[in-house]
C-alpha cells in the first residue's frame, strides 16, 4: 500500500473554521505530526480525534524529516498540522514536503485556514496582486528588505509580533512614507478580531500608545507607479531606515 503525506490546515481562531474533510483525514491517518502536541491536543479532543501524535517543529524538523519520509515510503499515511493555519506558511512544513517530493511520495495539501487571506481581503486594499513576506528579518537584511518592499507595486503582507508592532510600523513609515495606506489585522477569526485601517503614519501613532495583543497581519498598499517614477526623477529615496540595523 502506498503511503501519503497530508498537509492539513487548522483554525487560526474559531474552531468552526475546521473543515469536515480535515476532521475525516485526521481521524483516518496513521499518525499526526503536530507543531505543539499540547496545543493540538485541545483541537483533537474537541473533534474526538484519537489518532496518535508526534512532535514536529522547527527545532527538530531537520532531524525528523528523513525518518518520517521513510515511514511514508513504508506505507504509512501521515498528516502534518501546525498550531494554527496552514503548515509551511510561516510554520514548519516546507522541509518535509520537499523531502517527500524528492522521494516521489504523494503530498496532498487540503485547502483551509490561513491568517493573511482574510486580512488582505478585509483590508480594502487591492488583492488581485500581492506579495506575502511572512516575518521580516529581525536585524541583518531588514533595512534592505524594507527598501525593496517600499518600491513594490503589489500589496504587501507582513506578519508581526504584537511586541514589535509599534517599532515595525515606525520603520515602515520611514521606508514607505507616512501617507501610504495600510491595515493592521489582529486576532483573525477570534473573538476580539479587529482590523484598523489608515495611513502608516496614523497606524504608527495609534499603536505607539495602544499595545496590541494577539497575532498581527500588516497589509500595505503597493507604490503607485506614477508616484514612484516622480520620486525617481527627483532623485528621492524610498527608505530613510536607520543604517545601524543593516
Strand boundaries in 105-167, DSSP class E: 107-109, 130-135, 155-160
Specify the pLDDT at position 228: 56
Specify the pLDDT at position 62: 85
Specify the pLDDT at position 227: 60
Specify the pLDDT at position 129: 96
Distances 24 to 44, 49, 72, 219, 223 between C-alpha atoms, Å:
11, 9, 19, 34, 44
Specify the pLDDT at position 226: 64
Stretches where the chain sits below pLDDT 50 are: 229-230, 233-234, 237-246
Amino acid at each position: 500500500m502506498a503511503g501519503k503525506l497530508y498537509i492539513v490546515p487548522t483554525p487560526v481562531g474559531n474552531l468552526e473554521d475546521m473543515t469536515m474533510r480535515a476532521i475525516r483525514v485526521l481521524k483516518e491517518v496513521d499518525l499526526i505530526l503536530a507543531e505543539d502536541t499540547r496545543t493540538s491536543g485541545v483541537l483533537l479532543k474537541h473533534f474526538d480525534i484519537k489518532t496518535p501524535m508526534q512532535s514536529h517543529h522547527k527545532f527538530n524538523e531537520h532531524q525528523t524529516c528523513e525518518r518520517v519520509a521513510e515511514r511514508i515510503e513504508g506505507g504509512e499515511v501521515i498528516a502534518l498540522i501546525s498550531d494554527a493555519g496552514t503548515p509551511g506558511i510561516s510554520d514548519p512544513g516546507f522541509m518535509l514536503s520537499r523531502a517527500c517530493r524528492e522521494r516521489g511520495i504523494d503530498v496532498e495539501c487540503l485547502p483551509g485556514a490561513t491568517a493573511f487571506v482574510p486580512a488582505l481581503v478585509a483590508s480594502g486594499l487591492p488583492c488581485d496582486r500581492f506579495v506575502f513576506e511572512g516575518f521580516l528579518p529581525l536585524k541583518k537584511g531588514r533595512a534592505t528588505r524594507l527598501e525593496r518592499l517600499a518600491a513594490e507595486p503589489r500589496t504587501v503582507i507582513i506578519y508581526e509580533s504584537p511586541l514589535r508592532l509599534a517599532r515595525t510600523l515606525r520603520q515602515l513609515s520611514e521606508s514607505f512614507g507616512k501617507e501610504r495606506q495600510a491595515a493592521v489585522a489582529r486576532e483573525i477569526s477570534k473573538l476580539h478580531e479587529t482590523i484598523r485601517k489608515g495611513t502608516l503614519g496614523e497606524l504608527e501613532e495609534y499603536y505607539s500608545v495602544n499595545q496590541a495583543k494577539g497575532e498581527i497581519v500588516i497589509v500595505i498598499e503597493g507604490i503607485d507607479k506614477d508616484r514612484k517614477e516622480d520620486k525617481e526623477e527627483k532623485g528621492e529615496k524610498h527608505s530613510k531606515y536607520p543604517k545601524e540595523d543593516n
